[in-house]
Amino acid sequence: MIHEKSLIRPEQLKTHDKLVIDGVDVSGHWSTFVEARVVTDYNERLQDEIAALPGGEYIHRCWQCGSCTNSCTVNALNPDFNPRFWIYLIRMGMESELLRDKDIIWQCVSCHKCTSACPRDVVPEGVMKATAHWLALKGHSPKSKSTIFDEEFTEQVVATGKIEDGRVIRNFFAKTGQPLMQDWLVEIVKRVARRLPVLQGLKMGWAAVFRPKARNWGRARAALDDYLQEQEAIQRKALNLD
Ligand code: SF4
Ligand code: SF4
């Protein structure tokens, strides 16, 4: 069932230029019908697949109140961006319908307004992230920039047990083909540099060059590596990727 008129695909709206019923002229707008569709390609595991990815765990709680979409930052700019509707499609297993919006689902800006508004603790922001991740893992869309950023961040944590912000940003820009010298970034660096105590600046410069590791990081790293591999195997199995 489609709850919102804006979600009816234009190709399913039918009108008659000339239609008279019982002597009443209902041509044009008055004879608008919505063509019925038959969906046969359900993916009965779709909800389980999304729930297996980080952020999607609570999708089953959704009761379709629409508070997430009403509060959504991106929906205010683009009504086609509709978390409630996508959660509905996922829960119904309507994969082909979901794929029609594959080019905008990644646009979630992670503002978490939906998460604050949700009365069922679904964490819709997490579901959007899990759905974007699912699209990439299934090969329906390229890896999103948000996933590339997360991977860069995780790689550094695993390698050293620490985060060096400058390196994360440099590598993220390089991997996503963005120039490093961006006006907003230059401005941030200038303002931080103006207020940064000299000793702190020296420490940061040293860390950027020598990439120190957290103390006794070896064992923690091995445990973290094991956990990440285990999670990846669980996700690949849930999504039937092997
Ligand atoms: S986190 Fe994403 S889905 Fe939620 S309100 Fe913000 S933009 Fe919309
Ligand atoms: S606010 Fe929560 S319960 Fe309501 S439609 Fe969105 S995800 Fe579902």
Return the residue whose CA atom lies nearest to atom 2 of ligand 2: 118
Are the CB atoms for 57 and 122 separated by under 8 Å?
no
Kindly identify the ligand whose nearest atom is closest to the C-alpha of 62. Answer: 2
Q: What's the rounded Cα separation, in Å, for the pair 181 and 184?
A: 9
- pLDDT per residue as tens, the chain (242 positions): 555 666 778 888 888 899 898 999 989 888 888 888 777 889 999 999 999 999 999 999 999 999 999 999 999 999 999 999 999 999 999 999 999 999 999 999 999 999 999 999 999 999 999 999 999 999 999 988 888 998 999 999 999 998 888 889 999 999 999 998 889 989 998 998 888 888 888 888 888 888 888 889 999 999 999 999 999 999 999 999 98
Q: How far is the CA of 134 from the centre of ligand 1 (A)?
A: 17
Instruction: List the beta strands (DSSP E) in the chain.
Output: 13-16, 20-21, 24-25, 28-34
Rounded to 5 degrees, φ, ψ at 227 are -60, -45
The Cα 222–Cα 122 span in angstroms is 33
Q: What is the DSSP letter of 214?
A: P
pLDDT score at 138: 95
**Looking at ligand 2, which atom is closest to the CA of residue 69?**
6
- Which pLDDT does position 2 carry in this prediction? 53
8: which 2 tokens? 């009816």
Q: Which residues contact 30 (CB under 8 A, 6 or more apart)?
A: 19
User: Residue 208 has what pLDDT?
Assistant: 81
Would the CB of 135 count as within 6 Å of ligand 2? no
Residue type at position 149: F
Residue 119 CA, ligand 2 centroid: distance in Å: 7
Task: Give the pLDDT of residue 4.
Answer: 65
Pick the residue whose CA is nearest to atom 1 on ligand 2. 118
Q: Tokens 């590339």 label which residue?
A: 148
